[in-house]
Structure 1
Amino acid sequence: MNIRKTVARVAGGGVAATAALGLLSTGAANADTFVPLPGGEITKTLSDGTVVTVRMVGESANINPSMGATPLHRNAWVSGSAQVDISGAAIGGKIFPGYVVGCQVNIAGGGASGGVDGGAAYDGSSPSVGANAGGNLSLGPGQSKAFYVLDLEAADDYGSESHYVRNKFSGNSGSVTWADETLNLNGCGGYAQARSFVTVKVETDNVSSAVTLWGQPFSLG
């Protein structure tokens, strides 16, 4: 039995997503595998000279053999922290953290069919085509899909409830941190793989641009 509760907190330019997790394990066959991941860093100079640095730190995955007790089910709890620094007179930006998951698909080349391609989502309450908020995915062989870590509730311009997959920050820095975010894969009868991505949209007085950092792929079994 797995019991999980996720709480998202927003404070200033940072978002922290934490989870309280209870596990009941019976024997070594159900043991989890902890996978430390190297994270990464990318720096891009925009056309107006603004320098954007995106980092992923403290990244890891805890792989569970199967929540459904069949080879078609995979489960992992992923953690990490996306951090953004902008030089110059920046007016802020938006951070879109997520993961691409593939079933018998090589996603080591900087993207995945059916997932995100360089830019992911830019803004608004709806994720881009091929992605969704939340890590409950159903994939067959040869398929891949992206999902976003954040699902933040906020009122739209008309006062109605809306859901956002990004953290908006002002000034020269922002961050999103998540812990034990569920990645639940169903229907995959073959090799499964996942990798993180962080897309940052930056707007200045002269330019609007997106920078994407990809994490190292890891096996889901």
Structure 2
Amino acid sequence: MVVIMVGTASGRADVLADKYGAFDTDDGWQVSLYKTNEELKRWPNMAATAFSREAFLSMKAMARIGGTGSAPVIAGTVSAGIQIGCQIDVSSGMTVGAAANLGLSLGVNGGITISYPPAGTLGANAGANAGVVPNLQATLRPGGITSLTLDAKPLASSYGSTHLRELYVKTDGCGGYVSIRTFAAVQVATPNANDSYSIYGDPTWL
């Protein structure tokens, strides 16, 4: 089962379906949320280990506020993220031998690393890049789902977006099935109320 996961899809991009959702805030604003341009490129692990996965992820999250509300919008954010599930944590080691004694560890040390260049800033663009996080890490737990917000863009007008291109995703210490699902979220605040909404991509394997 592990060999199948490692030996497939050398660099082939899977294009996942766009998603859309809309809602009205308590103050009467009409908010639309989009998740588009999602692609996942799986690559064989460079270290040739059976318990690590590598891929490059692209996606775009967009939010738009329209209509006429009874109170002004004072803050808003559109964000993009992923959820990753690890079936079995083998980070403490695995003994290859008889089926009755595989030595699977059920600890909580499996890891996920997300890298999103550029890490630095360039001249006048330093302020624009100040919110970009170049590297994120989290702990995968066996049988559980880890959720990570990759980027969040404050809404300075009625429209905002965040576009992630070729985001490097790597998991370590996971045996069996590793699943991945993207999401887009929007938050809108007025003096009277906070509203939030999320949409999710189709789950697939890493």
Task: Tell me the TM-score range normalised by the shorter chain.
Answer: 0.5 to 0.7
TM-score between the two structures when normalised by the length of structure 1: 0.62
Aligned-residue RMSD, C-alpha: 2.4
Q: Is the aligned partner of 1:102 residue 2:65? A: no
1:30–1:81 distance in 2 versus 1, CA, 3 Å: closer
Q: Percent identity?
A: 26
Secondary structure of 1:180's counterpart equals strand
Return the alpha-carbon distance in structure 1 between the equivalents of residues 47 and 141 of structure 2. Answer: 16
Aligned counterparts, 1:59-208, within 5 A: 59-88=38-67, 90-104=73-87, 134-150=135-151, 166-208=152-194
Separation of aligned partners in 1, 2:139 and 2:53: 10
Contact 2:26 2:195 in 1 (8 A): no
* Distance (Å, rounded) in 2 between the aligned partners of 1:137 and 1:170: 30
Between structure 1 and structure 2, the one with the greater Rg is 2
Structure 2: give runs of 5+ residues left out of the alignment.
1-6, 89-132
1:88 deviates by 3.0
- How many residue pairs match? The answer is 152
How far is the alpha carbon of 1:149 from its aligned partner? 1.7
Q: 1:134 to 1:210 in 2, by over 3 A?
A: farther
- Name the CA distance, whole Å, in 1 between partners of 2:59 and 2:9: 24
Give the TM-score normalised by the residue count of structure 2: 0.66
2:136 and 2:79 mapped to 1: Cα distance?
14
Paired position in structure 2 for 1:34: 13
Tell me how far apart the structure 2 counterparts of residues 138 and 36 of structure 1 sit (CA, whole Å). Answer: 27
2:78·2:186 contact (CA, 8 Å) conserved in 1?
yes
Q: Which of 36, 51, 62 matches 1:57?
A: 36
